Amino acid sequence: MRRISVISRVLMVVLVAVLTMGAADNATRYNELGHKMMCACGCGQILIECNHLGCPDSDRMLGELRTSLSQGGNDESILAAFQEKYGPTILAAPMLTKFNILAWIMPPILLLLGIAGTMVLVRRWRLRTAALPPVQRSVQFQGIRDRIHRETEL
């Protein structure tokens, strides 16, 4: 019992260490958050990548992002604040909320269902297929097989 407790404590420490290891600095977070939002000017570009001449929004928005980071907000609160100010289209991808979660789960669910369905189908087909009669392994036939193996190395 004591051993389990020690192991679980060690695991907890390792987990916390892994999760906090190299916690992103502000420059990294600026880059990551800048890639999670769109420019509000309607150019359809990721905020940090918006580069068109005289864009009325990207510089101001990036400035707001820098300010939010320096004020110590976490990623979720910063994204929520931008969403509040600019509307839901400002996020480059839907958040995992209510209906939006469908956007994320539908493709993998469909793929898994497809794979599972195919496996079931193949299994049913295989069970229905009548067993083939055993191959006649005459000396001559075996000779041909050996020659094919020798020549093709398959």
Partner 1 sequence: MPTFGSFSLLLALALSGYTLLAGAVALRQLATGARARVTPEKLAETARRAGIGSFVATTAAAFALVWAAFNNDFSVAYILHHSNRALPGPYKFAALWSGQEGSLLLWAWLLAAYGFVLRLRHKVDVKLTAYASTILAGIQVFFLLLLNFAAMPFSLVGGTVPQDGFGLNPLLQYPEMVIHPPMLYLGYVGFAVPFAFALGALMMRYPGEKWIHITRRWTMVTWLFLTCGIFLGAHWAYSVLGWGGYWGWDPVENASLMPWLTGTAFLHSVMMQEKRGMMKTWNVWLIFSTFMLAIFGTLLTRSGLVSSVHAFAQSSIGSWFWAFLIIVLSVCLFTFILQRDHLKADNKLESLVSRESSFLFNNLVLLAACFTVLWGTLFPVLSEYVQGNRVTVGAPFYNRVAVPIGLFLLFLTGIGPLLAWRSSSFKSIRKNFVLPCIAGLVAAVVVIVCGVHPWEIFTTDGQGSFYAFFAFVLAAMVVTAISAEFLRGAGVISRHTGQGLLASMVQLTRRNTRRYGGYIVHFGVVVIFIGIAGSAFNQSKEQELGFKESLNIGPYRLECQSYSQDSNANYDTEFALLDVYRGGKKITQLAPEKRFYIASQQPSTMVANHSTLAWDLYVIYAGKNPDTGQPIIKVFLNPLVAWIWIGVAIIVFGTGVALFPNMTAALAASRNRVQSAAVADALPARGGD
**Cα separation of 106 and 117, whole Å?**
16
Taking CB under 8 A as the rule, does residue 93 contact partner 1? yes
Indicate the residue among 6 and 110 with the shorter CB distance to partner 1.
110
**Cα separation of 82 and 91, whole Å?**
8
Sole binder of partner 1 in the list 7, 26, 32, 147 (CB under 8 A): 32
Sole binder of partner 1 in the list 54, 72, 133, 134 (CB under 8 A): 54
Taking CB under 8 A as the rule, does residue 142 contact partner 1? no
Indicate the residue among 1 and 107 with the shorter CB distance to partner 1.
107
Q: How far is the CB of 3 from partner 1 (least distance, A)?
A: 26
SS (H, E, C) the chain: CHHHHHHHHHHHHHHHHHHHCCCCCHHHHHHHHHCCEECCCCCCCEHHHCCCCCCCCHHHHHHHHHHHHHCCCCHHHHHHHHHHHHCHHHECCCCCCHHHHHHHHHHHHHHHHHHHHHHHHHHHHHHHCCCCCCCCCCHHHHHHHHHHHHHHCC
Sole binder of partner 1 in the list 67, 74, 89, 142 (CB under 8 A): 89
Taking CB under 8 A as the rule, does residue 87 contact partner 1? yes
Q: Quick one: which of 60, 65, 37 has its CA closest to 49?
A: 37
Sole binder of partner 1 in the list 26, 70, 100, 142 (CB under 8 A): 100
Taking CB under 8 A as the rule, does residue 129 contact partner 1? yes
Applying CB under 8 A, the residues found at the interface with partner 1 are 18-24, 28, 32, 35-36, 38, 42-46, 49-54, 75, 87-94, 98-100, 102-104, 106-108, 110-111, 114-115, 118-119, 121-123, 125-126, 128-129, 151-154
